Amino acid sequence: MHNMRMKSLFGYALLFVAAIGCSSPIAAAYGQGNNPNRVHQLKSLKVVKIEAAGHNIDSWVMDNEQKREEGMMFLTDKEVKSNQGMIFVFDTVQPNNGKYAFWMHNTLIPLDIIYISPAKKVINICAGKAMDDASLYPQGPYKYVLELKLGTAKRLGIKPGARLGIPPSLKAIE
């Protein structure tokens, strides 16, 4: 009976240590922790470097419909560093017909929404307010969207017309 109780206590101790490790502020700051509200954990997403105005942005890749629908929902300010973003990749060019837009539903941090043409040039940049369901529309057909913390585009000098270094191998996996 004593051995059984010791194994149980040891098991609970391991669970406790694991829970602390996964929820530590340090782990969460580097996208290592689990965000219980997200389907796609940051640590499970592919990351690519996007070159923008002479700066490298480590970007989580949202390359299918399910990932694009979740986007940056439920991420906290601590989970996204100033040099990180999220790149949305579409398999076809998305038309500028008033039907397609991004919004900030369940998005906890304000964002720059950067619409990017198939030629990898910035079309326009929208300022997304946290938890706002207003549609943020493109001003032209787009193939990519880059989301950054609000004000990052301005800080880095990213403007409409700027060409972004998006890896040619980056494709949607519909």
pTM: predicted TM-score of the whole model, two decimal places: 0.81
The amino acid sitting at 174 is E
Does the pLDDT at position 119 exceed 70? yes
Handedness of CA 100, 163, 79, 45 (dihedral sign): positive
- From the candidate CATH numbers 2.40.10.120, 2.60.120.1140, 2.40.50.100, 3.60.15.10, the one assigned to the domain spanning 40-156: 2.60.120.1140
Query: Which sequence spans correspond to the domains of the chain?
Result: 1-34, 40-156
Higher pLDDT, 23 or 52: 52
Indicate if the pLDDT at residue 91 is higher than 60.
Answer: yes
**Is it the case that residue 18 has pLDDT exceeding 90?**
no
Read off the tokens for 24.
């530590």
Q: Identify the pLDDT of residue 32.
A: 53
